[in-house]
Amino acid sequence: MRLTTSAALALTLSLPSLAARAQNPSPMDIRACTAIETDSQRLACYDHATGRDNLPAAQKKTDNAAQEASTASSTNVFGHEAAKNTGVNPSTATAQATSEVKPLSLLDSRWELSPESKLGTFNLRGYKPIVVLPFFASSNQNRQPTSANPINSVDEPQHLDNIESKFQLSLKTKIWQGVFGDAGDLWVGYTQSSRWQVYNKQESRPFRETNYEPEAMLMFNTNYQVAGWDGRLMGIGLNHQSNGQSDPLSRSWNRVMGYFGFERPEWTIMFRPWWRIPEGGKDDNNPDIDNYMGRADMQIIHEWNGQEFGLMLRHSLRGGSESHGAAQLTWSFPVAGNLRGYMELFKGYGESMIDYNHNATYLGIGISLLDWY
């Protein structure tokens, strides 16, 4: 039942053939365009939302020239914009226009839940944080990885430094909008994270561990309330995660995952329970992985004053000797322009696949190019 990394990626790449069955409705609200990460796609979204892509080329040039002339004539020699004789106070008009636009919530802007946020298919979007951490330190580096499967246990300790670097890339795209008429969107995502012994000159600076995580998710917009929280998202998905290594370092598992998203002003919660697809036999690199990397997790996001705080809680949902879990705290804050500082603190089991049954504390400091969802 185990998927290889190449097979999982091939499956992901073959899914665009479903596009012929999907419809690409026009965006109904220009606000949704702000969530697209690619500049060219975001510009195309703005043009489409305003109807500008239907104008003849000559008309577009005329509009551009008229706009530039208008801007030049309304600016004096000191660079200040001159008030136009329109009979309307510009500040009042701006305030009225702003008050009419209600910002999309975090879940809505990232998953296109409401009708006005729909942008169609194959727009490249951010998923999990995209980060570069030049400093990533462990309190207890896993120099001799083990597994409940003897074939996947290392005999000799590895020469590893406690301080390394880490980086993560995570993207998603919608490949089918309106799977059940006007309900349900099918997304595919890919996350890759690497731990690099860049300061370990003695061992030729090897990559200690890289995790690959392709997944497919069917997401639905919901509208209910639980204890003051708005239930906005529900979904189901298939998730494959592996480290692409050969024995004895090989680690992998496949899961069926559920997604439940809740929010309130400045707060977002994503709850994900999952069931591991059994493998069994000698092919199972890590037969007890769900007792360490868990059977569910919860991600809590809080946005405050331009900063974003994240808390991940994960547990095996078992007691006694099978009770294991992990917690991760993240902090993202503005530095300059779109560049943001980023800090990550992890405690527990399974910071990466090779460390699924290894308990340690990890601290990472670096930059973030994209935050949660």
Task: Identify the CA nearest to 245 among candidates 290, 185, 301, 285.
Answer: 285
In whole angstroms, what is the distance from residue 191 CA to residue 197 CA? 20
Do the Cβ atoms of 355 and 145 come closer than 8 Å?
yes
Do the Cβ atoms of 221 and 114 come closer than 8 Å?
yes
Burial class (CB in 10 A: 0-12, 13-18, 19+), 178: middle
Q: For the residues of 14-59, what is the DSSP string, one character each?
A: HGGGGGGG---PPPS-GGGGGG--SHHHHHHHHHHHHTGGGS-HHH
Which residue of the set 105, 109, 147, 240 is catalytic? 240
Tell me, what DSSP letter sits at residue 103?
P
Tokens of 229: 């929280």
Reduced to 3 states (helix: H, G, I; strand: E, B; else coil), residue 69 is helix
Which residue of the set 193, 242, 250, 368 is catalytic? 242
In whole angstroms, what is the distance from residue 125 CA to residue 113 CA? 14
Which residue, chain included where needed, has tokens 């569910």?
Answer: 296
Q: Which long-range contacts (CB under 8 A, 24 or more apart) does 305-309 make?
A: 306/333, 306/334, 307/331, 307/332, 307/333, 307/334, 308/332, 308/333, 308/371, 308/372
Burial class (CB in 10 A: 0-12, 13-18, 19+), 294: buried
In whole angstroms, what is the distance from residue 61 CA to residue 67 CA? 10
Q: Sign of the CA dihedral 70, 73, 79, 81?
A: negative
Q: Among this protein's residues, is 242 annotated catalytic? A: yes
Q: Sign of the CA dihedral 174, 176, 182, 185?
A: negative
In whole angstroms, what is the distance from residue 267 CA to residue 271 CA? 13
Residues annotated catalytic, as ranges:
240, 242
